[in-house]
């Protein structure tokens, strides 16, 4: 690899090694500790990083035993080994029974027993005729002295002793007290350790030369720290260059759902056109879901295979009057609306049956009794249909509907609104209107648009509410009613082609979904 391209990615730990040593020179943890002051971790990192760039290579491995000072060893160093404490106690208090000494010193009897055994063999302690333990010759306690020296040496060397650094008596003593396993009750833990020897490769020479040429020392500053800024220590120093092309870490931000944002953008657009939003419950009665919309109770769209019925309870307690009576009469004979009605017996029990709202127009009907004139209202309502769920059908989904009340609204104003929706909401360039059929509007039209991507498709249906719908609900002015289908636009805006994806449970899928197109 080109030495110059390596330069940017070098860490100060590597740089200092490259500047200090020549290719072939044997290196290990101890060398780097001695010359560069690296702790073991840093030395290993420098070796690993340099090796990954083929600037260093391993040259050999040696195995040796090391002894690590245990917490018990450290406590002996601080407050004395059992032997030392035994001698000190007896020297101070005179001969005593061993159990009494154990209790006074808080030493377990077996430890005190073995300490006494060792010390009496050395001749330091002795048993009096009346079975008391006493100091015989304190000066003979050489083993105790040697142990203390070993503990102190280990502590001074960072708690670690190499086998190679011990002399023969020390090694013998260590052999007695160090344990490989279960070292919790020993002063030292013995372990086998491998030492790796490595060296810079020939390729490193060019990099080292380049470092010198560029004046890089490895002493450049890393992160900008608070301390640096407070003290001004950054002045005159240089900062290490980072590899700006390395892959950034992935962030998982808090984020809005793109489909919900799409729905909100439609709402905002309709608000900007002067529409006020309405809302309502998910459970409806047959009355509002169909009867109030002048759909005869025998209409095929009100079949068990189209609408979901609520099982518990099955009926509303009552239907609001005077609307119920007026609607019933209108179905039967037209009532006061000038219609001849559907000419059948209106079922006042059926009308109370509870269903899941199957069309957004329900909310329009509910709005009529409280609507202002002039008035413009809309809703994006979750609706429910008895449909097999697939790529183009959902059992619950959104419908976008609205109404316009006004003394002077008419077919041409309706077309004007549809044109606005086509252009403002759907971004259409071409619009056409064809006669349509909906049970609750007359006249009825469909609006078709030529979408820049989707081509011609039906954007929605609309019409003027039949007097049989408006008059029983207390409205005497014409009411334009419209519904627009925005699902296809939503799918396109989100780059999807399956309606089920709009309501995805998959967190990663939603996280990675990109935002709306411009």
Partner 1 sequence: MPKIEVNERLFFELVGRRMEDTELEAALETAKAELDGWGEDSADGGGRLIKIELNDTNRPDLWSTAGIARQLRVRDGGTIPEYPFFSREGDERPSEYTLLVDSSIQKLRPYMAGFVIAGKPIDDAMLRDAIQTQEKLCANFGRKRRVLSMGMYRIDLIKWPISYKGVQPDAVSFVPLQMDEPMTLRRILAEHPKGKEYGHIIADSPTYPILVGADDGVLSMAPIINSADIGAVQVGDRDILVEFSGTDMATVALATSIVACDFADAGYEIRPLRVEYDFDTPFGRAVTFPYYYQTPASVDAGRISKLLGESIGPEKAIEALARMGVRAEAHGQHVRAWPPEYRDDFIHAVDLVEDVMIGRGMASFKPERPRDFTIGRLSPIESFTRKAKDVMVGLGYQEMIYNYLGSGKDYIERMNSSADSIIRISNPMTENFEYVRPSILPGLLQSASVSSKAPYPHRIFEAGKVAFLDEAQNYGTSTRQRLGFLCSHQMADYNELAGVVSALLYYLGEDYTVEDGDDPRFLHGRQARILVQGVNIGVFGELHPAVLENWGINMPSVACELDLDSLL
Binders of partner 1 in range 401-430 (CB under 8 A): 404, 406, 408-413, 415-420
Shortest Å, Cβ 72 to partner 1: 35
**Under rule CB under 8 A, residue 317 binds partner 1:** yes
Contact 134, 119 (CB under 8 A): no
Q: How many CB atoms lie within 10 A of CB 91?
A: 11
What are the angstrom distances between the C-alpha of 410 and each of 371, 466, 489? Answer: 18, 13, 28
Q: Choose among 507, 458, 508, 516: nearest CA to 483.
A: 458
Shortest Å, Cβ 441 to partner 1: 9
- Which one of 110-118, 160-168, 230-238, 311-319 is the stretch in contact with partner 1 (CB under 8 A)? 311-319
Angle (CA) 244-246-248 rounded to 5° is 95
Closest to partner 1 by CB, 44 or 261:
261
Instruction: In whole angstroms, give the CA distance from residue 370 to residue 475.
Output: 9
| Omega cis (within 30) before 443 | yes
* Candidate list 260, 336, 391, 516; residue touching partner 1; CB under 8 A: 260
Beta bridge partners of 353: 315
| Omega cis (within 30) before 175 | no
* Candidate list 389, 391, 515, 516; residue touching partner 1; CB under 8 A: 389
**Under rule CB under 8 A, residue 478 binds partner 1:** yes
Contact 427, 516 (CB under 8 A): no
**Under rule CB under 8 A, residue 514 binds partner 1:** no
**Under rule CB under 8 A, residue 68 binds partner 1:** no
Residue ranges of E strands in 124-187: 125-127, 133-135, 160-162
- Which one of 167-175, 189-197, 226-234, 250-258 is the stretch in contact with partner 1 (CB under 8 A)? 250-258
Q: Choose among 148, 149, 116: nearest CA to 135.
A: 116
Instruction: In whole angstroms, give the CA distance from residue 485 to residue 347.
Output: 33
Shortest Å, Cβ 450 to partner 1: 14
**Mode of pairing for the β-strands spanning 430-435 and 441-451:** antiparallel
**Under rule CB under 8 A, residue 473 binds partner 1:** no
- Which one of 115-123, 163-171, 273-281, 486-494 is the stretch in contact with partner 1 (CB under 8 A)? 273-281
**Under rule CB under 8 A, residue 476 binds partner 1:** no
Report, in angstroms and rounded to the nearest whole number, the Rg of the chain calculated over CA atoms.
46
Scan for tokens 């809703």, then name that residue.
Answer: 379
Closest to partner 1 by CB, 38 or 294:
294
Closest to partner 1 by CB, 187 or 502:
502
Q: Which residues, in sequence order, are CB contacts of 66 under 8 Å at separation 6+?
A: 160, 161, 162, 163, 190, 191, 192, 193
**Under rule CB under 8 A, residue 1 binds partner 1:** no
DSSP H or E stretch at residue 414: helix 411-420
Residues 348-377 that bind partner 1 (CB under 8 A): 354, 356, 372, 374-376
Shortest Å, Cβ 13 to partner 1: 30
Q: Which positions from 430 to 459 touch partner 1 by CB under 8 A, shown as an x/- string? A: --xxxxxx-x--xxxx--------------
Residue ranges of E strands in 98-154: 125-127, 133-135
- Which one of 114-122, 125-133, 263-271, 483-491 is the stretch in contact with partner 1 (CB under 8 A)? 263-271
Closest to partner 1 by CB, 73 or 341:
341
DSSP H or E stretch at residue 261: helix 258-272
Scan for tokens 């608000």, then name that residue.
Answer: 271
**Under rule CB under 8 A, residue 247 binds partner 1:** no
Closest to partner 1 by CB, 176 or 264:
264
Shortest Å, Cβ 293 to partner 1: 14
**Under rule CB under 8 A, residue 382 binds partner 1:** yes
Q: Which residues, in sequence order, are CB contacts of 427 under 8 Å at separation 6+?
A: 451, 452
* Candidate list 110, 318, 455, 518; residue touching partner 1; CB under 8 A: 318
* SS3 at position 125: strand
* SS3 at position 126: strand
**Under rule CB under 8 A, residue 327 binds partner 1:** no
Tokens of 190: 């013995």
* Candidate list 216, 464, 484, 494; residue touching partner 1; CB under 8 A: 464
Residues 187-216 that bind partner 1 (CB under 8 A): none
* Candidate list 314, 392, 476, 517; residue touching partner 1; CB under 8 A: 314
Closest to partner 1 by CB, 214 or 268:
268
Residues that bind partner 1 (rule: CB under 8 A) add up to a total of 102
Shortest Å, Cβ 223 to partner 1: 25
Closest to partner 1 by CB, 304 or 453:
304
């Amino acid at each position: 690899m080109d030495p110059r391209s390596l330069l940017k990615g070098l860490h100060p730990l590597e740089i200092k090694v490259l500047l200090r040593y020549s290719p072939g020179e044997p290196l290990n943890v101890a060398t780097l500790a001695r010359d560069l002051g690296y702790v073991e971790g840093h030395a290993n990192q420098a070796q690993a990083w340099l090796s990954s760039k083929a600037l260093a290579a391993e040259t050999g491995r040696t195995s040796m035993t090391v002894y690590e000072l245990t917490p018990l060893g450290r406590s002996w160093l601080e407050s004395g080994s059992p032997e030392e404490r035994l001698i000190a106690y007896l020297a101070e208090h005179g001969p005593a029974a061993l159990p009494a000494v154990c209790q006074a010193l808080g030493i377990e009897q077996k430890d005190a027993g073995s300490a006494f055994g060792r010390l009496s063999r050395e001749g330091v302690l002795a048993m009096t005729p009346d079975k008391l333990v006493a100091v015989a010759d304190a000066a003979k306690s050489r083993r105790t002295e040697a142990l203390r020296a070993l503990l102190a040496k280990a502590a001074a060397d960072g708690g670690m002793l190499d086998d190679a650094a011990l002399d023969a008596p020390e090694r013998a003593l260590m052999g007695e007290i160090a344990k490989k396993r279960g070292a919790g009750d020993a002063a030292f833990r013995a372990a086998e350790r491998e030492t790796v020897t490595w060296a810079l490769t020939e390729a490193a020479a060019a990099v080292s030369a380049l470092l010198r040429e560029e004046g890089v020392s490895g002493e450049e500053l890393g992160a900008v720290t608070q301390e640096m800024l407070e003290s001004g220590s950054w002045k005159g120093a240089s900062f290490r260059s980072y590899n700006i092309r390395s892959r950034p870490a992935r962030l998982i931000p808090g984020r809005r759902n793109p489909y919900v944002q799409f729905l909100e953008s439609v709402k905002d657009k309709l608000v900007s056109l002067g529409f006020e939003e309405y809302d309502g419950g998910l459970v409806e009665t047959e009355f509002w879901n169909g009867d109030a919309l002048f759909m005869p109770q025998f209409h095929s769209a009100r079949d068990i295979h189209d609408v979901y019925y609520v099982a518990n309870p099955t009926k509303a307690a009552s239907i609001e009057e005077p609307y119920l009576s007026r609607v019933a009469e209108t179905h039967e004979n037209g009532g006061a609306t000038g219609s001849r009605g559907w000419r059948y017996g209106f079922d006042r029990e059926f009308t109370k049956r509870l269903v899941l709202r199957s069309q957004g127009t329900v909310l329009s009907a509910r709005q009529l009794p409280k609507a202002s004139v002039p008035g413009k209202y809309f809703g994006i309502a979750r609706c429910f249909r008895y449909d097999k769920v697939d790529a183009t059908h959902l059992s619950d989904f959104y419908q976008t509907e609205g109404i316009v009340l006004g003394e002077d609204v008419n077919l041409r104003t309706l077309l004007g609104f549809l044109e606005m929706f086509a252009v403002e909401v759907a971004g259409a360039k071409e619009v056409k209107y064809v006669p349509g059929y909906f049970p609750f509007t007359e006249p009825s039209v469909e609006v078709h648009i030529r979408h820049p991507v989707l081509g011609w498709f039906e954007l929605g249906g609309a019409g003027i509410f039949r007097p049989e719908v408006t008059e029983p609900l207390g409205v005497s002015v014409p009411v334009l009613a419209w519904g627009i289908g925005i699902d296809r636009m939503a799918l396109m805006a989100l780059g999807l082609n399956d309606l089920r994806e709009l309501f995805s449970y998959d967190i990663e899928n939603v996280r990675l979904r990109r935002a709306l197109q411009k």
